[in-house]
Amino acid sequence: MRVPQSIAANEDSWKIPAWSIMAAAAAFVLVEYYVWLVLPNGRQPIPLGLRIYFNISWGVVAALYFLMVGYVSKDAPRRAMSARFWMLLCFVMPGGIGAVLYFLLRAPLVSRCPTCGTHVQNDFHFCPQCDYRLTASCGNCFRTVRNSDQFCTRCGHELAIDHLPARLRTLAD
């Protein structure tokens, strides 16, 4: 497994990088330039309403394209995925197909085990290296349960007989 980039979960500045915002603004301005200065020099004049429609819609689409590539560049390392590969795929695939593929195929978020420091996916119940219990789960069907639940919502198993670790028991209180 690749080593994920560590970013604080409450940090909002990581979502879209500055270079992506600059590229999106430049793409929007280039579309403005093309629609208002280059396109009118053609043979047939385009009606003003249609020109405004194309100006806004194509400018927004171009800007969103660069913002999406920027988002993927920051989100992929958090999930231990190759940022270069997914950025290239999002940039090259036409019509946003690369971005759709990214969102369909992206891996879950990765965090560290508090005991041994191994990178584990956030949906793991136990650390694969040290068997540390990461989340509360049913002892019968091993589905995730809330710390305050008395019975499993899937199989009805009584959770009190599973002997939750002390750290999870204190959270439930």
What is the per-residue pLDDT across 43-60, written as a single tens digit (0 to 9) for each?
A: 677 788 888 898 899 999
Residue corresponding to tokens 């005991």: 115
Quote the mean pLDDT of the chain.
Answer: 80
Task: Examine the pLDDT at 168 and tell me if it is beyond 60.
Answer: no
Most confident of 36-45, 68-77, 154-163: 68-77
Report which of residues 66 and 45 the model is more confident about. 66
Partnered with residue 120 across adjacent β-strands are 111
The answer to whether 119 touches 80, Cβ cutoff 8 Å, is: yes
Model pLDDT, residue 153: 82
Interacting residues of 62 by C-beta distance below 8 A, sequence separation 6+ = 24, 27, 28, 30, 31
Report which of residues 96 and 170 the model is more confident about. 96
pTM score, whole prediction: 0.65
Task: Examine the pLDDT at 152 and tell me if it is beyond 80.
Answer: yes
Interacting residues of 79 by C-beta distance below 8 A, sequence separation 6+ = 4, 106, 107, 108, 109, 110
Q: Where are the domains of the chain?
A: 18-111, 123-173
CB atoms within 10 A of CB 37: 9
Model pLDDT, residue 171: 47
The answer to whether 135 touches 147, Cβ cutoff 8 Å, is: no
